[in-house]
Amino acid sequence: MSELDLVRLNFNPQSLWALNAIIGLVMFGVALDLRGSDFRAVLTAPKPVLIGLAGQFVLLPAFTFGLVLAIRPAPSIALGMMLVAACPGGNISNFLTHYAKGNTALSIAMTAVSTAVAVVMTPLNVSLWGGLHPEASKILKVVALDPLEMLLAVFLLLGLPMAAGMWTGHRFPRLAARAHKPVRALSLAIFGLFVVGALAANWRHFLDYVGFVVLAVFLHNALALATGYYAARIAGLPERDRRAVSIEVGIQNSALGLVLIFNFFGGLGGMAIVTAWWGIWHIISGLTVATLWSRRPPVAMPPS
């Protein structure tokens, strides 16, 4: 076991409750703009969403497992990377897809469905791929991770706020329309400040391991963006859909990852540091990719 695996970040129970509340607020804000039609769209045109879900919950976790075997990070960093890969799409993916001239409707549908599917797939992928890793599996045994307990936690963190947000949007559409952007912006700003605060409180640990963490997250995020894009390309999706799928797979819900780390892994240093840095880096990389794409309007596919 490396020195990093012995690090426990400074985090008290009050901060954990605050983080749980923040992610609940984030999901509530996202769901204010969701409608049942976003889910019904999957039934009428399921292929793009299914390709995106396969990239999100099948290909990315599997490729991440291959990446950690190749670069051989500390076990806690490896498990953190696998946990991030098991999370659903992040909360800014819809904005980035719109900015990138991608299919925003597809992005919204993928966010809605992947968040719902994550209730089962996130605990399953963490248990499966973490259990297959020779060293990370030892961490799972030490913390005695119960997949059903994690499933319940993910349901409470994602499912209930999402249902409450959708109900509010349906029952009070005018209020939801006015509140959607402010609530979403406020919740994301609060989460950003929380991540910065967590890094500041543990700055010494971050500086000690920043070099490898930055490299690992850079490679991992590039892999995620490429996985989404090329899965969509191989499936024959048009360019607008490829951009949406790429961003959805490449922008992960790192807030959920941090909550699970502090709830189930005691703030294990490598896991928390890599997930917190991912939360910062995927915004930088996402904006960069979206800016490049925004300057190149997607070419429509010729009719078959």
Output the pLDDT for position 226.
97
Mean pLDDT of 253-263: 81
Please, are residues 180 and 108 in contact by the beta-carbon 8 Å criterion?
no
d(CA 273, CA 137): 19
Q: What's the pLDDT band for 212 if we cut at 50, 70, 90?
A: confident
Output the pLDDT for position 196.
67
DSSP 27-48: HHHHHTT--HHHHHHHHHSHHH
Give CA separation, 301 vs 1, 103, 109, in Å: 52, 14, 22
Please, are residues 223 and 63 in contact by the beta-carbon 8 Å criterion?
yes
Does residue 304 lie in a domain region? no
Single-letter amino acid code for the residue at 304:
S
**Strand runs (DSSP E) across 113-170, as ranges?**
none
Q: Which domain holds residue 36?
A: 4-294
- Total domain count, the chain: 1
Q: Compute φ and ψ for 19, nearest 5 degrees.
A: -65, -40
- Cβ-proximal residues to 75 (8 Å cutoff; 6+ apart), any chain: 1, 2, 5, 133, 135, 136, 138, 139, 270
Residues forming beta bridges with residue 8, ordered by sequence position: 268
Does residue 302 lie in a domain region? no
The tens digit of pLDDT for each residue in 146-171 reads 667 767 777 777 678 878 888 888 78
Question: Which CATH number does the domain housing residue 272 bear?
Answer: 1.20.1530.20
Identify which of 31-40, 42-51, 126-135, 172-181 has the greatest average pLDDT: 126-135
Q: Is the pLDDT of residue 199 over 70?
A: no
Q: What's the pLDDT band for 79 if we cut at 50, 70, 90?
A: very high
Output the pLDDT for position 303.
44
Does residue 131 lie in a domain region? yes
Helix (H, G, I), strand (E, B) or coil at 184: helix
Output the pLDDT for position 284.
85
Q: Compute φ and ψ for 262, nearest 5 degrees.
A: -80, -25
Question: What percent of the chain lies above the pLDDT cut of 90?
Answer: 25
Q: What's the pLDDT band for 213 if we cut at 50, 70, 90?
A: confident
Does residue 301 lie in a domain region? no
Does residue 300 lie in a domain region? no
Output the pLDDT for position 81.
94
Please, are residues 96 and 250 in contact by the beta-carbon 8 Å criterion?
no
Single-letter amino acid code for the residue at 131:
G
The tens digit of pLDDT for each residue in 266-282 reads 777 788 888 888 887 88
Mean pLDDT of 179-192: 69
Q: What's the pLDDT band for 304 if we cut at 50, 70, 90?
A: very low
Report which of 102, 105, 103, 52 is spatially closest to residue 296, judged by C-alpha positions: 102
d(CA 1, CA 119): 31
d(CA 201, CA 203): 6
Does residue 10 lie in a domain region? yes
d(CA 66, CA 72): 10
Identify which of 167-176, 180-189, 222-231, 249-258 has the greatest average pLDDT: 222-231
Single-letter amino acid code for the residue at 136:
A
Question: What percent of the chain lies above the pLDDT cut of 70?
Answer: 75
Mean pLDDT of 52-58: 94
DSSP 90: -
